[in-house]
Amino acid sequence: MRNLKYAILGLVNREPKTGYDIKKAFDDRALTNFWHAEHSQIYPELAKLVKEGMLNCSTVIQGQKMEKKLYSITPAGKKEFETWLEDDVPIERTYKDIFRLRTFFSDELDREKYLKLLYSQREQHIVRRDYLSGILDTVFPNIPAIGTADLGDYMVLDGAVSRETDYVKWLERCIEIFEKQ
């Protein structure tokens, strides 16, 4: 499916970037919630995309002698990216989640031990929800205009806050079941 390919093409399409820039983008608040890659996966993919004619690479000198490679998108790369972007694909069968896997088997665990896990997970998702929600409120007090990159940013952040909020509610329903008895 080459999803990393398209994530990279999309980022470089916004503006030319180095591998390091791309890594930073994947670590960033909005994007890291639904996509991520390590630099060890990014650098080889960049080389591959140059070889495939999707990206151009130019070397820039930073300071005295540090070379950095700035990648920009080619017309072929842009076309490839846009074709991917409008592709209507089936939703994914599985959204893997290790805590849900534990929950599925939770009958094998003492009530107290499982409750401890539930509270810990809840706390962590609350922290993330509040963190993301804070960004949403401060960075985007208003909904950005259609056609801006900010709107994409806004929508995925809104989705992430919503997802975390729902996750916390689900955990609280689980907690309620175990606290009641």
CB 172 within 8 A of CB 118: no
Measured from the CB atom, is 135 or 151 closer to its own copies? 151
Decide if residue 32 touches DNA (CB under 7 A). Answer: no
- DSSP secondary structure string for all residues of the chain: --HHHHHHHHHHHHS-B-HHHHHHHHHSTTGGGT----HHHHHHHHHHHHHTTSEEEEEEEETTTEEEEEEEE-HHHHHHHHHHHT---PPPS----HHHHHHHTGGGS-HHHHHHHHHHHHHHHHHHHHHHHHHHHHH-SSPPPTTSHHHHHHHHHHHHHHHHHHHHHHHHHHHHHHHH-
Options 53, 60, 134, 177; binder of its own copies; rule CB under 8 A: 177
Options 18, 164, 168, 171; binder of DNA; rule CB under 7 A: 18
Residue count, binding to its own copies (CB under 8 A): 73
Options 2, 20, 52, 85; binder of its own copies; rule CB under 8 A: 85
Residue 18 binds which one of DNA, its own copies, none, with CB within 5 to 8 A depending on kind? DNA
Residue 12 binds which one of its own copies, DNA, none, with CB within 5 to 8 A depending on kind? none
Residue 143 binds which one of DNA, its own copies, none, with CB within 5 to 8 A depending on kind? its own copies
**CA–CA gap between residue 36 and residue 144 (Å, rounded):** 24
Options 16, 29, 33, 47; binder of DNA; rule CB under 7 A: 47
Residue list 90-129, contact with DNA (CB under 7 A): 94, 96
Residue 62 binds which one of DNA, its own copies, none, with CB within 5 to 8 A depending on kind? DNA
Q: Which residues bind DNA (CB under 7 A)?
A: 1-4, 18-21, 23-24, 36-41, 43-44, 46-47, 62-69, 94, 96
